[in-house]
Amino acid sequence: MAHQPIITLLTDFGLQDVYVGVMKGAIASINPELQVIDLTHQIPPQDITAGRFALLNAYPYFPANTVHIAVVDPGVGSSRRGVAIQFPDGFLVGADNGIFSGVLSIAPAVAAVELTNPKYWLADNPSKTFHGRDIFAPVGAHLASGVKLEELGDAIAVSSLVELLLPDVVVKENIIQGCIQYIDGFGNLITNIPERELNNKSGFITIKDYNISYFQAYSDVAMGELLALVGSHGWLEIAVNGDSAKDKLQVVVGDEVIFYTRNH
């Protein structure tokens, strides 16, 4: 049985204003049968890196041909491109500012277009400050409704898409070097070290002047104590049982971490 077309929305708009609702209205005006799922609208303002991480960790849980609209767009109104991208698991729509580079590092782009065809916009003269409403939401709705990617604009080389790169994970004997790539709403510090690099080893992580032991679950340490563990997202993270590691350690995205491994 064919599933109902799905659109996901990810923005930094928050929920106080009407911006998210207006985007949904633009989608519904094109096809009210589309299913729209909110990933999050609480990405920190203009934080493309956080949007990259959130989308990377959400997309695998949606069926093929889902259209993911992501609007974290500090360059809105500038010469930055609006794009639609086909990748093996669906489509991505938004600004070409690197927000899609996490997904595309795992599931490379098949084709991409710059959104130059106003036939699929809400208006021929879109707002200089709200492309989410005037371009990305309607384009996503048309795409989810069966409009072909190539109809949305001019083809561009997938190699030209902007990449937002984190420092590489460096693996040496008994040492894995990485960084903090995201801080979630609980204050957990999520590194860019994937579970596969740990290879069933034990050890501890260092950040600033802290040495933090590696465990399997938050409850393995007392309330208020630091620990390192692999979260449900599959990345090594630093947490405090019942509290915020961000507040306790006063670190920011990009800060270096080193995991020292011990073979069992």
pLDDT the model gives residue 20: 98
pLDDT of 1 strictly over 50: no
Greater confidence, 5 or 227?
A: 227
pLDDT the model gives residue 4: 77
Radius of gyration of the chain (CA): 20
pLDDT the model gives residue 2: 57
Distances (CA, A) of 105 to 88, 178, 218: 12, 17, 30
pLDDT of 8 strictly over 90: yes
- Report DSSP state, residue 118: G
The answer to whether 91 and 149 have CB atoms below 8 angstroms apart is yes
Sequence-distant (6+) residues with CB within 8 A of 157 are: 112
Average pLDDT for residues 219-244, to the nearest whole number? 95
Prediction pTM value: 0.92
pLDDT digit string, tens, across residues 127-186: 999 999 999 999 999 999 999 999 999 999 999 999 998 888 999 888 999 999 999 999
Residue 65 falls in which region: left (phi positive, over 0), alpha (psi -120 to 50) or beta: left
Residue-range domains of the chain with CATH: 6-160 (3.40.50.10790), 170-262 (2.40.30.90)
Distances (CA, A) of 159 to 93, 114, 116, 153, 155: 17, 13, 19, 17, 12
pLDDT digit string, tens, across residues 64-101: 999 999 999 999 989 999 999 999 999 999 999 999 99
Sheet containing 35-40: give its strands across.
35-40, 6-11, 66-71, 90-95, 82-87, 111-114, 154-156
Distances (CA, A) of 146 to 67, 69, 143, 166: 11, 16, 5, 35
pLDDT digit string, tens, across residues 20-41: 999 999 999 999 999 999 999 9
SS (H, E, C) 6-17: EEEEEECCCCCC
